[in-house]
Amino acid sequence: MKKIIYFLVLLFVLQNANAQIDIPAPSPGASFTQKFGLTEIKMEYSRPSVNGRVIFGNILPFDSLWRTGANGPTTFTTQDSLTINGKGLPKGTYIILSKPGRTSWEIMFNKNPAVSYTNYLPNDDVLRISVPINKTSKKVETFTISVSDVKSNNCTLSFEWDNASVQLQLVHDVRSKVMKQIKQKNAGPTQSEYNAMAKYYFDNNESVSEALIYINKAVAMGETMANLRLQSQILAKSGDKKQAIIVAKKSLEKATTANNQDYIKMNKESIAEWEK
């Protein structure tokens, strides 16, 4: 019995002695997804810190290849083709490499999923962009990739570390995608789809006459304070302010019944403006 107990204790000690010690990573991994327009991008990277070091020109020699992060590769995935700083990038997953310089960074989207410092080939770059450096007013201790200024068809992708910041302007061709959907739906869109089509034309300065056709069809399926409001706006944009006022008053009446203060305010303001 003593031998069995001794053996079990020894086995437990050996197992724990061989167990891997879990400690925090010095450059932790990070990932995020961002929707904009009618597409989505995903970024995966690691985040090194300054830790009192001189980064650019020392840890990262100027104009030398960098994985744009730490540990493993930095990957960028887009569901649809994009325009980045005016240059096209097909949909897919890419490795982002860079060469930080004194006044600008060269950023590469590389198609080789196994690319490294030793096997990098410029011919594998699907897109290469030179971006000027913006000096940050506050030191960024931990390398950060982020998205800002998200709009209906574009956003800004930023790379920030130490006192350097560079930005890429990502644009998605929403118009072509929407137009394709509209053409496919002409066989019988729902009221909400007619509303959406009219609003897209109105918001993006497309054909006013076609916007009016779509909103008229939506209103014919049932009047609401929302579609009447949009119809009045499109009429005013077309130059028919007299009819726009008539329709806006109908929207105002429905908004008053529903006690919707937002629509009451918007309609009153528009009526006052169009009556001038």
Question: How many structural domains does the chain have?
Answer: 2
Q: What is the C-alpha separation between 180 and 259, in angstroms, rounded?
A: 38
Q: Which of 136, 171, 206 is the last residue of a domain?
A: 171
* Candidate from 21-30, 81-90, 98-107, 210-219 with smallest mean pLDDT: 21-30
Q: Does 1 map to a domain? A: no
Mark whether 148 and 209 lie in a shared domain.
no
Q: Does residue 241 sit within a domain?
A: yes
CATH number, domain with residue 181: 1.25.40.10
Lowest mean pLDDT among 16-20, 28-32, 202-206: 16-20
Tell which of 116, 141, 171 closes a domain: 171
pLDDT at residue 5, rounded to an integer = 53
Residue 119 lies in a domain: yes
203 and 236 belong to one structural domain = yes
Tokens of 147: 């998205």
The per-residue pLDDT for 1 is 54
Do residue 270 and residue 151 come from a single domain? no
Q: For position 83, what pLDDT does the model report?
A: 96
46 is a domain residue: yes
Same domain as 143, residue 193: no
Q: 259 in a domain, yes or no? A: yes
In the chain, the amino acid numbered 165 is S
- Out of 113, 138, 171, pick the residue that ends a domain: 171
Verify that 132 and 220 share a domain, yes or no. Answer: no
87 and 183 share one domain = no
Q: Is residue 4 part of a domain?
A: no
- 33 within a domain of the structure (yes/no): yes
Contact 254, 224 (CB under 8 A): yes
Same domain, 75 and 151: yes
Residue 65 has pLDDT above 90, yes or no: yes
pLDDT of 8 higher than 90 = no
Tell whether pTM > 0.75.
no
Residue 49, pLDDT above cutoff 70 = yes
Helix (H, G, I), strand (E, B) or coil at 120: coil
> pLDDT per residue over 100-136, tens digit each?
999 999 999 999 999 999 999 999 999 999 999 999 8
Give residue 184's pLDDT.
74
Helices (H), 34-131: none
Q: Is the dihedral of CA 111, 112, 115, 120 positive or negative?
A: negative
Same domain, 47 and 77: yes
Cα-Cα end-to-end distance for the chain: 103
Q: Is there a domain that residue 3 lies in? A: no
**225 and 112: one domain?**
no
- Considering the domain architecture, whether residues 159 and 223 belong to the same structural domain is answered as no
Q: Interior CA angle at 26 toward 20 and 27, to 5°? A: 115
State which residues form the domain around 44.
24-171
Residues 41 and 146 in one domain: yes
Distance CA 196, CA 214 (A): 9
Give the residue-averaged pLDDT of 76-104: 97
- Domain identity same for 162 and 206: no
